[in-house]
Amino acid sequence: MKKTAVFILMVIMAANLAHSQVLIALLFGDKLSTDKFQLGIRLAGNLENFTGWEGTQSQFAFGFGIYGALKLSPKFSLQPELLFKDPRGAERLPTKAFGNADLDPLLANAAVAAKLAYVSLPILLKYHLTPQFSVGFGPQLGYISSARYEYKAQVYAKDDLFFKEDIKSTVNSLDFALAFNLEYTLQKTRPIQIGLRYYVGLVDVFKDSSGHSAKNSVFQVYLGIPVGGQPKEK
């Protein structure tokens, strides 16, 4: 319990610091950017699913956060990120009985989706094949912020019955994964990042994995938008 409280406090402090950094960047612009460091805002589209749970289907969701690109050498850079909204989940999950004689028949053929949201901290080491194209790899730690099942069923019209079930207590608080990255940087205007990322979870999503061992899996397209001026090359 104490470890969880400390972790939550660290995430809150990091989030507040990140918001402050973005605000400072907007106010001071070029003064924040250097030839070694660039702060930016990150927008992402996730195609997410569970591995190990047969019959599920991918779903799409948006996420956002900030990143810092630190140049280590002409060939290597380090990019830590703080993702405030990092969605996960899957569709076409099996429905279940709630023991409610009125509700259970209505949800018998419902479409069920898992909607999970994490606050995540990826740390990527990037190797620059060219000044504009890079490959990257690194660990990613996520902390669950919300988790629910969404049930959609038809009574009189399509999806006229919508039901949410909070499942946060059944989900493991921490998610650990590896991230693999391909990225192209538009350097002629501003160092805008356009990238593809694959996120492979290494731990079970749910605390009780006796029925199915589900791990997060995400294919991601992202856009990194620098805040402030363009770092000058030496």
Summarize pLDDT for 197-213 with one digit per residue, the tens: 999 999 999 998 766 78
Measure the CA–CA gap between 102 and 168, rounded to whole angstroms.
25
- Res. 6: pLDDT tops 80: no
Residue 163: inside a domain: yes
Task: For residue 86, count other CB atoms closer than 10 A to its CB.
Answer: 30
**Which domain CATH number covers 138?**
2.40.160.20
Q: What is the pLDDT of residue 17?
A: 45
- pLDDT of 138 strictly over 50: yes
Q: Is residue 232 part of a domain?
A: no
Domain count, the chain: 1
pLDDT, mean over the chain: 84
Q: Tokens at residue 54, please? A: 């047969």
Question: Taking residues 13-33, what's their average pLDDT?
Answer: 51
Q: What is the pLDDT of residue 1?
A: 53
Give the mean pLDDT of 29-44: 80
Give pTM, 2 decimals: 0.81
Per-residue pLDDT at 229:
58
The CA distance from 38 to 71, in Å, is: 9
Report if residue 165 sits inside a domain. Answer: yes
Confidence at residue 211, expressed as pLDDT on a 0 to 100 scale: 65
Average of per-residue pLDDT across 88-92? 95
| Structural domain containing residue 133 | 2-226
